[in-house]
Structures are given as structure tokens and as C-alpha cells.
A = this chain, B = another copy of it.
Amino acid sequence: MKKFINAPGAVLTDALAGVAAAHPELKVDAENKVITRAGGTRAGKVALLSGGGAGHEPLHGGFVGTGMLDAACPGEVFTSPVPGQMLTAAQAVDGGAGVLFIVKNYTGDVLNFRMAAELAAEEGVTVETVLVDDDVAVQDSTYTAGRRGTGATVFVEKIAGALAEQGADLATVAEMAKRVNASSRSFAVALTSCTTPAAGKPGFDLPEDEMEVGVGIHGEPGRRREKLRTAREIVATALDAILDDQPLAAGEETIVLVNGLGGTPLIELYVVFNEVAATLTAKNVTVARSLVGNYVTSLDMAGVSLTVCKADAEMLALWDAPVSTPALRWGV
């Protein structure tokens, strides 16, 4: 294993110290492993809290800031954060209007966030939860009952975050978050595995001429192994899976994320985006907004995920609203 780390057990602590040093606009509670906005939550604003195992950076800490999350709780690499940590975070950011938990659908996360919601209720903090489960590749998987939550998390956090910033109440923000998730579908392909610091070796073996089609963000198996194909063919496979699950009619508008899984060069992500845009345009589907880059990663995995959100005018307006976080910033 070759990594820029001090010790496998120190990665999260050291990285959080780095986040604190790099981003004075964030506050890092090193002891509890909670990242919040340095300025706290405006009184009366619904707070958004997310979290999950580390190794997916910039998710979630990189999305804390004006117009997006109020708090992020990272667990150890590919390991759920714990309920006490989430409770600490929820209490820290509750501005009196309640807290929305944004939870990627992995069993550990779901159980721990559920317990945290119960603990928060006992402490007088109102919590709503949205589960993100956008990955159409497999129904259940190693870490999951039901679909996995992946790239749509960025859409949910951005759009619901903008609505919360505008002063919407908890039920309204939660409903929008659910609507964005329900409108989003993802599919990923990996060319290599990834290596966690604790394991020290790749999570799976992938022959030099094969790819994992439908891979998960922890390297979970997908639908099948295939011989490597061209970017155009790979995009066709991914888009077919997405559109089979949620057809898009001519004239509909979308937000598209072409996401690198950590080890994929940006030039390749643009090659992929070109195929996605061309394919959707040929179907008279509009790519109204897009992101191309590393947003929901799997450590050093060479891979790409594609997320398509069928977006209405309200979602697009909220997407365009100002956001100021380490990983997404515009309009401010």
C-alpha cells in the first residue's frame, strides 16, 4: 500500500486537522469528529446534517457551508459514524427549526442515524430524515438493503440546502430532499479497485482488461464484469440503466453529474461528459446544469459514476442559488 499518510489509524484525525487548517470558514470538532460552519446556524434556519464513512471526500465535509450542509459527521474510512457523534452535531447546529438528516442508504448509516434521531428527539431536537438511494445498479448489496446512495447526495444536499437557506420549514425542506432523490438515478463503472488504509490492499481484483459494471462506492460488486470498452459504450450502458429506471421524455430538463471516483483523470471525465451530453441531446433531453469532477469518491478507485436528476424549474432555481463550501462555490 502506497499512501500519503502517517499511519492507517491516523488518517481521519490527520485529515480533519488538515480541513481545519485549510478552511477557516469551517469549524472542526476534532474530539467528536464533527464539521460545522464556523458561523453556526442562523436562528430559525433548518439545519442540514449528513455523514458517512470517510474515503468519499469531498463528500460530506466539503459540502458544509452557506447554501448547503450545516454539519458533516465522518466515520472512519468506509465505516459509519456513530449515533453520539450525530447527536452532538445535531445539537450543535439546531437553530430551533429542526435538523434534516441526509443519509446514504447503507445499513450501518441507516441504523446509526435512526438511533441518533431518537436520541435527538429525547433532547428536544426535531429531526426529519431523507434516505438517498439513487444507484440503479443493484437492488441490494454488500452494505445495503435496497439501493445504494451515491451521487444524488450532492444534488439533495445542494438543492435542499438552498431551500433551507431561503427559510423554508423542516417539512418543506425534507419534502424537497425526497423529491430530488426520487428524481435522481446513478450508475458507476470501475476500472480498478480501491485500497483502504486499514486493509492495505485492494478490496477486489480486477484483471487488466476488465471493468466492474455497476460498482458501488466502497468497491462493492456491481452487475457484472466485462471486458473494457470505449467511453461511448460505457456511457451507453450506464445511461441505459438509468433511463430504463426513469425514462426521460423529449423536452425534459436534467442536472447531470459526471463524477470521478478518485483515481480518474479529469480529462477522462470530460470525455465521458461529452458522450453523456451528446446522448441526452440526441434524445432531446436538456442538460440544463452539470458538474464534472471528483465529488463522491472511493479513495483511489479509477472509475466514473453518472447521476441524472430530472429537474423542474424549482429545483433548477435552487441549484443556481448561492453556495459557498470547499467543494462547491458559486454566486457568492
Binding site for B on A (CB under 8 A): 2-7, 11-12, 14-19, 21-22, 54-55, 57-58, 62, 77, 191-192, 208-209, 211, 228, 230-232, 234, 262-275, 277-278, 287, 290, 292, 294, 297, 299-300, 302, 304, 324, 329-332
Contact = CB atoms under 8 A, between A and B. Distances in A.
B299 A18 contact: no
A266 B22 contact: no
B211 A287 contact: no
B265 A57 contact: yes
Given A2-B211, A265-B262, A266-B297, A14 B57 contact: no
Contact of A264 (B4, B14, B324): B4
Contact of A272 (B18, B192, B331): B18
A55 B265 CA distance: 8
A55 B267 contact: yes
A295 to B, nearest CB: 10
A11 B230 CA distance: 11
A294 B269 CA distance: 13
A22 B270 contact: yes
Residue with the greatest number of chain B CB neighbours at <10 A, chosen from A22, A262, A332 = A22
Given A294-B294, A330-B329, A14 B271 contact: yes
A231 B4 contact: yes
A266 B192 CA distance: 17
28 contacts: A2-B211, A3-B265, A4-B231, A4-B234, A4-B268, A5-B231, A6-B271, A11-B267, A11-B271, A18-B269, A18-B273, A18-B274, A18-B277, A19-B270, A21-B273, A21-B287, A22-B277, A22-B292, A57-B267, A57-B270, A77-B267, A262-B263, A263-B263, A263-B265, A263-B300, A265-B300, A266-B294, A330-B332
Q: How many copies does the complex hold?
A: 2
Contacts of A292: 18, 22
A273 B22 contact: yes
A6 B272 CA distance: 9
Nearest to A6: B230
Contact of A267 (B21, B287, B299, B304): B299
Contact of A230 (B5, B273, B274): B5
A191 B5 contact: no
Contacts of A272: 4, 18
A54 B269 CA distance: 14
B231 A6 contact: yes
A326 to B, nearest CB: 8
A211 B263 CA distance: 18
Contact of A191 (B3, B230, B232): B3
Given A2-B211, A4-B271, A15-B274, 14 more contacts: A2-B191, A2-B209, A4-B231, A11-B267, A11-B268, A12-B267, A15-B268, A15-B271, A18-B272, A57-B265, A266-B294, A267-B299, A294-B294, A331-B332
A277 to B, nearest CB: 4
Contacts of A270: 14-16, 18-19, 22, 57
A4 B304 contact: yes
Contacts of A266: 57-58, 62, 262, 294, 297
